[in-house]
Structure 1
Amino acid sequence: MAFDPMEERGVPLERQLRNWSELNVTPYDTQAVHPYTRTRAILMNGIEVESIMNSHQTARHVTDVGLKQKLALVRRIEQQQQKAVNWLIPGEESNIAVTIGYEQVAVDLTAWVARNEPDPYLKQVYDFGLLEDFDHLYRYANLMDLMGESRKAAEITGELTEIIPGRPTIFEHRHPHDDLRRPMTKVGADRQSVLNGLTLVAAEQQTMNYYMNVGNRPTDPLARALYLEIAQIEEQHVSHYESILDPTLSWMANWVLREFHECWLYWSCMVEEVDPKVRQLWELHLNMEIEHLKTAWEMMKVIDRRDPRELLPDTRLVTPMVFEPNKAYLRQLVAKEVDLTAYDSEFVPITALPEEHRYFAYQAQVNAGGSPTEMVIDRHREAFGEDYRSETEGPHPVGALRERDRQGVLDYAQATQ
């Protein structure tokens, strides 16, 4: 059933502010929560953070006082929305358990986006990043096991997402120039492509921010090093995804698109949510975002003197974003593209790079002391005899990554030299 936020009555802005007890929501039960309720909470926290930061950036680049006031009011409300969403995560859920949730978001969200991307180049952009986040889930799952948590990572993911090696993180480190992609243009891009791009920029930025802040919380030096290494890849991913957005859009056009984007995702969360109380929160925030969209819509008319219908000729929402298992898709992808890297804005096998390519110099520099993402697997094998996996669909589709001892990675490294 289609949903058009521009045809709905939202909550008036003056009625959207909530008191502290309303914002201090009851968190979900970490033992009983559906894994995709957790991923929706993590995703929407990131979406709100992106919207808030975009609003701050807009306010820093405009002079109109009336516009600044509108931005400040909507931004304050979105700060409250972010608190209510992020406070769904209970305090007893450890940082590493939340991290597993973050990586499950990255895997199943990016897989859905890739499968629903109409542009072939953008689909390749998403598939490329997907295999790297897939590997991060595997590395963190092994760390979680080593940390002696009461649960295994597969209990967090509900076995909805497999935990196996993707493109090994040690090979993901690229020169910054090779993390920039070709941008889409709003004129030529499909509306779904715009929504997809905004989604992954926000999601990856949220993961980057999270690791920047919690990566130094463990006491084990290897755990700190693992967060450090993967946090650097998340920075690469933010550069990777943000470079596909149209850089020519005005501040007002960006505001309208982000508010429409939030309507789409809150609507998606609402129609997919299985927890009645959490669903009520998604519905409330959707009704608030309807009014935010209309506010941005009117400000674009005033500031840009353009009809937002030029930007969004159709505001009906038909296809919700869905968190769902993507096991077969990921297995096919890892079998086909595990050996890819980037050369400028294109994707090529590592073996196709010339010997003097900057990739190899960068690799030699950052991996000179060894890779923590490999060390954590080695330590797990030393402690338990093998790495930790959740292979619900059978052996790994790549022969060199099938063995669960150290030799498997060595075989892969030799094959890609």
Structure 2
Amino acid sequence: MGFNPLEHQGIPLERQLRNWRELNVEPVDPDHGDPYTKCRVITMNGIEVEAILFSHQFARHCPDPEVKRQLAEVRYIEHQQQKAVNWLLPGLASVLETTIAYEQVAVDLTGWVARHEPDPYLKQAYEFGVLEDFDHLYRYANLYEMIEHRKAETIVDGLTEVMPGRPTKFHHRDPVDNVREPYDRTRTDPISKLHALTIMSAEQQTMNFYMNVGPQYMEPIARQLYQEIGLIEEEHVTHYESLVDPGETWWEQLVNHEYNECYLYHSFMEQESDPKVKAVWELHLNMELEHLRIACDLMRRHDGREPAEILAPELPNVLTFEENKQFVRNLLDTQMDLTTLGTGYVRDAHERFERMQEQIHGGEEPPSERVMAQHREMFGREYRLETEGPHPDVASREKD
């Protein structure tokens, strides 16, 4: 039998508060640790941040003071969880190094979800997005070598390829074409709800990160590249959040959030190679089991429904960080020239897309192209192309 979080007791809420010593976690080793450990840390930080922001929004729309107090109690613990998780990141890492790890998360997390998503429409949404994150990783890798004179391979450790994807300059679309069709909450597979919530949370975290760290650089090209890709992350958050059925009640959303946290902490606990980090995942899973119980009680009391009506009877197979190289290369072969039109996808540029391109670029090359030109001027080549070369289809399409 699989793991059903509804059948397990967690740590009682009154025993979950941690003191400063307990929150003072030891960060992961930036040079010798598993890169996917850092990816799991970044993912869970995004999940916790989304849980906190959702709880605040719920509280702002809730007239019941008792529910507000219950949300506040759980939310404070979620804040402590977020601090413990995010503080696992090494302080020695530069902003750009963390950025490259963020994009590795975007590629391999979204790639895994796309491979395992049962709904063809949702699957296409993830496949479309992963090619853009893939190119962001490549642009930042060029910037990293220019500014810090180091290779992105030292961060991704060869687990994720660093080469061009769908060119970043083509990611700028009319905002109305970033809105997708939502899944139907009454008919969709429960795993699809978890996938949508997970990728939305991860992209939201990246958007927020770039909004805040971009202006910390002195180099003009770095500031400009963060500005450009930060705007695309806004498009990605719109793209993914629109997949969630807006008909879900606040109580239903609360239960889905807590169930998803159980799913991800359980998944990462099962595969974590760092014993100290694994202990954090196990502790937080046992906390989340109690948060889920509380959310389920609130749903029964205020929504008049049993949580089992909307949840899977057991957690699905663990979400795994693993290589997606062949999957991404297949997408490069087949989906490089896609853009969006309405809630669908087309291969040909259309009027709204071309108008947006003209307005945002203003007849000039965007930062994502200028960073490549400056890298070629500095090194006489693009990043990594002198040894391994780009995917041949990518090289020909970039040239065109």
Q: Normalising by the residue count of structure 2, what TM-score does the alignment of the two structures yield? A: 0.97
Partner residue in 1 for 2:295: 296
Structure 2 residue 333 is the aligned partner of structure 1 residue 340: no
In the alignment, is the contact (CA less than 8 A) between 1:208 and 1:235 conserved in 2? yes
SS at match of 1:350: coil
* Residue aligning to 1:402: 395
- Give the Å deviation of 1:79: 0.2
Unaligned runs of 5+ in 2: none
**Residues 162, 390 of structure 1: 8 Å contact kept:** no
CA distance in 1, matches of 2:342, 2:141: 32
Is the contact made by 1:146 and 1:380 (CA closer than 8 Å) also made in structure 2?
yes
| CA–CA separation in structure 1 for the residues paired with 2:355 and 2:395 | 29
Whether the 8 Å contact between 1:59 and 1:68 is mirrored in structure 2 is yes
* Structure 2: distance between partners of 1:34 and 1:391: 27
Equivalent of 2:314 in 305, 316, 335? 316
- Taking the aligned partners of 1:27 and 1:229, their CA distance within structure 2 comes to 31
**What amino acid maps onto 1:209 in structure 2?**
N
* 1:266 aligned partner, one-letter code: Y
Q: What's the CA shift for 1:101?
A: 0.3
Using the alignment, how far apart are the partners of 1:184 and 1:391 within structure 2? 44
CA deviations on 1:176-215 (whole Å, 9 max, x unpaired) are 0000000001111111111100000000000000000101
- What is the root-mean-square deviation in Å for CA atoms of aligned residues? 1.4
Partners of 2:54 and 2:340 in 1: how far apart?
28
In 2, are the aligned partners of 1:252 and 1:304 still within 8 Å (CA)? Answer: yes
In 2, are the aligned partners of 1:132 and 1:172 still within 8 Å (CA)? yes
- The one-letter code sitting in structure 2 at the alignment partner of 1:85 is V
1:190 aligned partner, one-letter code: D
Is 2:215 aligned against 1:216? Answer: yes
The SS at the match of 1:274 is: coil
* Match for residue 360 of structure 2 among 360, 366, 372: 366
Give the Cα separation in 1 of the matches to 2:389 and 2:116. Answer: 27
What letter corresponds to residue 336 of structure 1 in structure 2?
T
Measured after TM superposition, the shift of residue 267 of structure 1 is 0.4
Taking the TM superposition and a 5 Å limit, the aligned residue runs for 1:346-385 are 346-351=344-349, 353=350, 357-368=351-362, 369-385=364-380
Alignment of 1:55-204 (within 5 A): 55-149=55-149, 151-204=150-203
Q: Quote how far apart the aligned CAs of 1:90 are.
A: 1.6
Find the residue that maps to 2:216 and give its secondary structure: coil
Q: Choose from 312, 329, 332 the match for 1:331.
A: 329
State the distance in 1 between where 2:360 and 2:195 align.
31
- Counterpart of 1:215 in 2: which secondary structure? helix
Q: Distance in 1 between matches of 2:107 and 2:253?
A: 26
Task: Check whether the contact 1:164–1:391 (CA below 8 A) recurs between aligned residues.
Answer: no
Matched AA of 2:395: R
- How far, CA to CA, are the matches of 1:398 and 1:251 in structure 2? 48
Contact 1:117 1:196 in 2 (8 A): yes
Q: For 1:238-249, list aligned pairs within 5 A.
A: 238-249=237-248
Residue in 2 that maps onto 1:33: 33
| Closer/same/farther in 2, CA of residues 310 and 360 from structure 1, 3 Å limit | same
In the TM superposition, what is the alpha-carbon distance from 1:119 to its structure 2 partner? 0.5
Residue 415 of structure 1: aligned partner: none
Give, in whole Å, the separation in 1 of the partners of 2:103 and 2:109.
Answer: 10
Indicate conservation of the 8 Å contact 1:138/1:389, yes or no: no
Deviation string, structure 1 residues 134-161 (Cα, Å, up to 9, x no partner) = 0000000000000124x31011001100
State the 1:311 CA deviation. Answer: 1.4
The Cα of 1:389 is off from its aligned counterpart by 3.1
User: How far, CA to CA, are the matches of 1:23 and 1:370 in structure 2?
Assistant: 46
Shift of 1:123: 0.5
Give 3-state SS (helix, strand or coil) of 2:340's partner.
strand
SS in 2 for 1:216: helix
CA distance in 1, matches of 2:313, 2:98: 34
Q: Deviations over 1:80-106 (max 9, x none)?
A: 000000000121100000000000000
Deviations 1:267-308 (A, max 9, x none): 011001000000000000000000000000001111112211
Shift of 1:315: 3.5
Q: Which residue of 2 aligns with 1:15?
A: 15
For 1:382 and 1:373, the matched residues in 2 are separated by 15
| CA–CA distance in structure 2, aligned partners of residues 327 and 2 of structure 1 | 29
1 CA distance for matches of 2:216 and 2:70? Answer: 38
On the 8 A contact 2:191/2:316 being kept in 1, the answer is no
Aligned length in residues: 399
Aligned partner of 2:9: which letter?
Answer: R
Q: 1:396 offset after TM fit, Å?
A: 3.4
SS in 2 for 1:249: coil
Question: Contact 1:253/1:300 (CA < 8 Å) preserved in 2?
Answer: yes
Partner of 1:389: 384
Task: Return the offset for 1:321.
Answer: 0.5
